[in-house]
Amino acid sequence: MKKHIFQKINRKIAILVSAFFVVSLTAVSIGSSSTTQSVTSFVDPYQYKLTGHGINVVYTPMGPGAVPNLIYKDRAGTKHFIGKNISIVSVENLGNVVGVTLDSKLVGVGWSKTSFAFILPVFNHEDLNRTRTPIPIHTIGIKTNYKEGGATLPVHQIGTSIDTYNLKGTAYKHRINPL
């Protein structure tokens, strides 16, 4: 059973790596039609809004209090995250993977955890300065449900499930209103 779970995870990782590459190329190529380019500096937009499959995310890399802020909304409700409750992993030439733990609870003697992560592309500083309009982005969200059990969970309820979602949205250079 564990071998099957790892094979499924490996397939999802291969899809995600491919998506990283496509998202990165799309973001870096926006507005880069000039024939000569100097050294490029990459920056985070002020705020991102992403939506897809009933999921809405507003992410501010440097929000109030000079810490990241994230609002996650789905059919189960709205959750707010700030600072250390947001995991950010920078992947060179691709962007940032931003993640949060949506739910973590004890289930019998085991536990259940649901997390959500999404990929944010890097943006050329010149691209952001060139426009006052939002920059469209397409990316992927990943929701992971993990259950680790003890004697009280049946074997078929133990393991990991990974769901991926296509997300569309915009990156804003200037402040916008949240959800």
In a domain, 68, yes or no: no
Of residues 73 and 15, more confidently modeled: 73
Question: What's the CA gap between 14 and 168, in Å, rounded?
Answer: 21
- What's residue 126's pLDDT? 65
Confidence at residue 108, expressed as pLDDT on a 0 to 100 scale = 67
In a domain, 165, yes or no: yes
Q: Is the pLDDT of residue 150 over 70?
A: no
Residue 100 covered by a domain: yes
Q: Give the highest mean pLDDT range of 22-26, 90-94, 105-109.
A: 90-94
Q: Domain count of the chain?
A: 1
Q: Is the pLDDT of residue 155 over 50?
A: yes
Distance of alpha carbon 107 from the chain centroid:
27
**Domain membership flag for residue 120:** yes
Note whether residue 16 is domain-resident: yes
* 93, 124 contact by CB (below 8 A): no
Whether residue 178 lies inside any domain: the answer is no
Residue environment code for 46-73, b if the CB has 16+ CB neighbours within 10 A, otherwise e: bbbbbbbeebbbbbbbebeeeebbbbbb
As a whole-number percent, the residues of the chain with pLDDT over 90 amount to: 37
Contact 59, 70 (CB under 8 A): yes
pTM score above 0.75: no
pLDDT score at 159: 74
CB atoms within 10 A of CB 167: 21
Beta carbons of 120 and 19 less than 8 angstroms apart: no
pLDDT recorded at residue 112: 85
What's the domain range around 88? 2-32+84-171
The pLDDT tens digits for 39-97 are 444 456 889 999 999 999 999 998 777 899 999 999 999 999 999 999 999 998 788 99
Residue-wise pLDDT for 110-120, tens only, equals 778 999 999 99
Q: Would you state the pLDDT for residue 134?
A: 82
Residue 53 belongs to some domain of the structure: no
Is the residue at 19 inside a domain? yes
